[in-house]
Amino acid sequence: MKKIVVFASGSGSNAENIINYFNNSKIASVSKVYCNKKNAGIFDRCKKLNKDCVLFDKEQLFSSEKFLNQLKEEADFIVLAGFLLKIPSKLIEVFPNKIINIHPALLPKYGGKGMYGMHVHNTVKENKETETGITIHFVNENYDEGAIIFQAKTKVENSDSAKDIAQKIHNLEYAHFPKVIASVIAE
């Protein structure tokens, strides 16, 4: 049974979806959730789900050998579910092609530093895109440039607001992210 550690920064809806998906899995389970924002909604979600959620900071992520060794024990895979910090190269070296991220656009469009959440959806709307989607990819040393594992598309109608686009993206995330994680783990 493989162990998944989830990194989150926000409300935790994708993390909750992943936790629920793997609750009865025979291939993997979520061993722990880490969050870098002390007031993030993920803490309440994890409490309801009986899942450990631990606060950590940028210094631990980038500088702590103890934290790195702890992750080696707790994780076979790391999944970024709305996690906004750049992953340090040391962690990528320890978990090559074992750190999976989801991005709310069809990379390589609308990726990179500062392109997350509503920033992406507003830009998609402003640029009058006719489609958008999600990209699930491995993490490398550059924001949103790791090898693409999976993409799913959705139409953008002229009448769609940025919030409408966000809802379409959330629907794709919920439908595909856990299944794609499972397929990567099963390989």
Catalytic residues: 103
- The tokens describing 53, both together, are 């959620």
Contact of 112 with 144, CB cutoff 8 Å? yes
CA distances from 136 to 54, 101, 128 (A): 24, 6, 23
Per the structure block, which two tokens stand in for 122?
């507003």
Question: What is the identity of the amino acid at 61?
Answer: L
User: By CB neighbour count within 10 A (0-12 exposed, 13-18 middle, 19+ buried), where does 54 fall?
Assistant: middle
